[in-house]
Structure 1
């Protein structure tokens, strides 16, 4: 074996330089750097996946915003459009991969702070509000007599319930053009029934507690409300009257204003409640 002492210094330095150069080649990265780059790519893929999900949700929300279905609450579509606009401001550009280990780890930590799940959920929530409002509108668009009776039952402030027929309809408008498709009267324990004329629920009319008048369309319901409004504040006032969908919710004029509002709100909640 040759004596190391006799190996020229220039040859030793050349070998050391060669080893260092080889270690710096891309294919000769340390396991730590390789692992860090894999972690960086994982974070990039996670964020890019969220961006893809966000874009899909934006497209779904935009389609819903163009729906021809009418929501019960007219403000939900503008709210959805605002959520869409907010989501569209979100952008992401994948960073270039640094060469140094510290720089790679720093980039990883920055990406870990990026999370668009809340933005995706905000869009989904806005869409759900619109879908629920559309479902509510369908529920109170010319609902059946049976539906109205079922929803009135159990409401605090609602007593006996009775639906009109062609034979006992006090207004004679059941089923006629522009008239109601159904009317359900009810008494209320909040009203002193001894102070109300009539023997039956229908004979007592709205004075006994109130009524739910159902119309084929919103225009007919609003026309009826406008007509009743002409008597407000006079001796022929018939109580409160509020349109929800194509339904006119009426409460007795014998109730105090606060009682009218509370009963009206309870009835509207029951009619629009989704199950």
Structure 2
């Protein structure tokens, strides 16, 4: 009985000590630990992100925060954690925007891109690739006519008829797997010549393409402008 009492007494003292140590934490330290908890919860979630660098940066900021030892460093770490958490959350929102987006959303976003003079969505009747709404095909195809493509390279007045060669195109799929499969298929034609598909990049569940008629620097600039427009948060 006496032995049990001693054990309970020691446990009670330990609990009191832990409570005492916890109460000794400054507001700055508590604020930092709260942000660390939030950050770890985000990292353990199943939410997909657009920019993987936001994940590695958040992990680094958490690790760096562990070296904080005074109120000044706690405050500094808290600010860095908040910024990294915001970037991670924004990346989640961006990924949602490029996952099965609506045709209307894409047209609204790309219509104001510099050098894009005309935007047109294909229908099953006008889709020259004949992939619209088929099992492994896209559910939306938006053709982009660019002022950077020479007029003589545009055989038709319709962006859809000119297709990707007129400037660029965005193919929208139901899953990232289908978009990646399309991208892999286009890669088999990646060589100079009449069959060159131009540049192509998977963005969410889309394949963003630019014309082979553009110079390499123009392709990079247009691709970046398209992606930036699609992931912009409002």
TM-score tier after normalising by the smaller chain length: 0.7 to 0.9
The structure 1 segments of at least 4 consecutive aligned residues displaced by more than 4 Å after TM superposition are: none
Is 1:89 paired with 2:89?
A: no
- Say whether 1:128 aligns with 2:80: no
Corresponding position: 1:259 with 2:212: no
Report the CA distance between 1:86 and its aligned residue: 1.5
C-alpha contact (below 8 Å) 1:182/1:214 kept by paired residues: yes
Q: CA deviation at 1:89?
A: 2.7
CA RMSD of aligned residues (A): 1.7
Q: Distance in 1 between matches of 2:40 and 2:67?
A: 15
Query: Which deviates more from structure 2 when the two are superposed, residues 198-207 or residues 139-148?
Result: 198-207
**Within 2, Cα distance between the matches of 1:53 and 1:261?**
43
1:5-27 C-alpha deviation (Å, 9 max, x unpaired): xxxxxxxxxxxxxxxxxxxxxxx
Secondary structure of 1:250's aligned partner: strand
Conserved 8 A contact 1:164-1:182: yes
Superposition TM-score, scaled by structure 1 size: 0.73
Offset at residue 261 of structure 1 (A): 0.6
SS of residue in 2 equivalent to 1:141: coil
Q: Which residue of 2 aligns with 1:186?
A: 144
1:195 aligns with 2:153: yes
Question: How far is 1:71 from its partner?
Answer: 0.4
Alignment of 1:231-250 (within 5 A): 231-235=189-193, 236-250=195-209
Counterparts of 1:124-163 in structure 2 under 5 Å? Answer: 124-163=82-121
Partner of 1:230: 188
SS state of the match for residue 159, structure 1?
strand
Report the CA distance between 1:234 and its aligned residue.
3.9
Corresponding residue of 2:227: 268
Task: State the 1:46 CA deviation.
Answer: 10
Contact 2:65 2:74 in 1 (8 A): no
**Rg comparison, structure with higher value:** 1
Moved more, 118-127 or 232-241: 232-241
Q: Distance in 1 between matches of 2:24 and 2:86?
A: 26
Deviation at 1:128, TM superposition (A): 0.7
Contact 1:221 1:246 in 2 (8 A): yes
Which residue of the partner structure matches residue 80 of structure 1?
58
- 5+ unaligned residues in a row in structure 1: which ranges? 1-44, 93-112
Shift of 1:193: 2.4
- Unaligned stretches of 5+ residues in structure 2: 1-22
Q: Secondary structure at the match of 1:63?
A: helix
Q: Secondary structure at the match of 2:116?
A: coil
Partner-residue secondary structure (3-state), 1:116: helix
The total of aligned residue pairs comes to: 211
Secondary structure of the corresponding residue to residue 238 of structure 1:
coil
Query: What CA distance in whole angstroms lies between the structure 2 residues aligned with 1:161 and 1:50?
Result: 52
Question: Counterparts of 2:98 and 2:72 in 1: how far apart (Å)?
Answer: 43
